[in-house]
Amino acid sequence: MNQNNEFNDEIDLRDIFFTLWAGKIYIILISIISVFFASFYLQSAQREYSVEYNVKPVGETKNGPSFSGLGGFASLAGVQLPTSSGNDFNIYKDLITAPEVSEIIFENKKIIREIFRSEWDETLNNYSRPPKSKIQIFVNDAKKLLTGNIDINYMPPNPRRLAIFINENIQINQDKETGFLKFTSETSKPKLMLSLI
């Protein structure tokens, strides 16, 4: 009697197959719809690339202010350097996100136009607020209603906005094993990010 109970736990594959065969139309329909939505998403999705750029140190600086290499570049940009012990990597790391450096980068109109492409108006040959979609207008109206915040006036691209863009899109870390300064960014425009770095 114990032997008969052991065989009652077996799965009958034939019953499962007939159950699936009875619902074959639903399975095929759901598969077709899933493939359609997946292909539609892949066609409209923006591809993201991972950009990594490593900077190798040439030499370490000694205690005191540095006026050579990146330290000299910092003094040209008007950035006050710390007099405590530090190396050019730390200076460069702070320098690249400084608004003073953004002012120098901002002179390259080609890069700036590429970064703020959505705001560039060819007909006006100037920057203007990009038109909002119906969904964005609805979301803004809902935010105003819920928070009471008013719309902020449009500010065309400037060095301060460029510094914010760099801070948000480029992560700077020092690799403790190699000592390299590592720039990383997840972007749909890898060439632009490399030229910006």
pLDDT in tens, 102-123: 888 888 888 888 888 888 888 8
* CA-closest candidate to residue 162, choices 119, 101, 77, 110: 101
Do 80 and 170 lie in a common domain?
Answer: yes
Do 161 and 95 lie in a common domain?
Answer: yes
> In which band, very low, low, confident or very high, does the pLDDT at 30 lie, cut at 50, 70 and 90?
very high
Tell whether 166 is covered by a domain. yes
Q: In this predicted model, what pLDDT tens digit does every residue of 169-179 receive, in sequence order?
A: 888 887 778 77
Do 102 and 59 lie in a common domain?
Answer: yes
Q: Which of 6-10, 47-51, 92-96, 153-157 has the lowest mean pLDDT?
A: 6-10
Do 161 and 111 lie in a common domain?
Answer: yes
> In which band, very low, low, confident or very high, does the pLDDT at 161 lie, cut at 50, 70 and 90?
confident
> In which band, very low, low, confident or very high, does the pLDDT at 159 lie, cut at 50, 70 and 90?
confident
* CA-closest candidate to residue 180, choices 190, 172, 191: 172
Contact 81, 71 (CB under 8 A): yes
Q: So what's the pLDDT on residue 84? A: 41
Do 148 and 174 lie in a common domain?
Answer: no
Contacts of 106 (CB under 8 A, 6+ apart): 112, 157, 158, 159, 162
Do 176 and 146 lie in a common domain?
Answer: no
Q: Helix (H, G, I), strand (E, B), or coil: what is residue 174?
A: strand
Do 173 and 135 lie in a common domain?
Answer: no
Structural Rg of the chain based on CA atoms: 29
Do 165 and 193 lie in a common domain?
Answer: yes
pTM: 0.55
Do 65 and 91 lie in a common domain?
Answer: yes
Contact 71, 89 (CB under 8 A): no
* CA-closest candidate to residue 88, choices 10, 123, 79: 79
Instruction: Count the domains in the chain.
Output: 3
What is the span of the domain harbouring residue 135? 127-154
Contact 79, 95 (CB under 8 A): yes
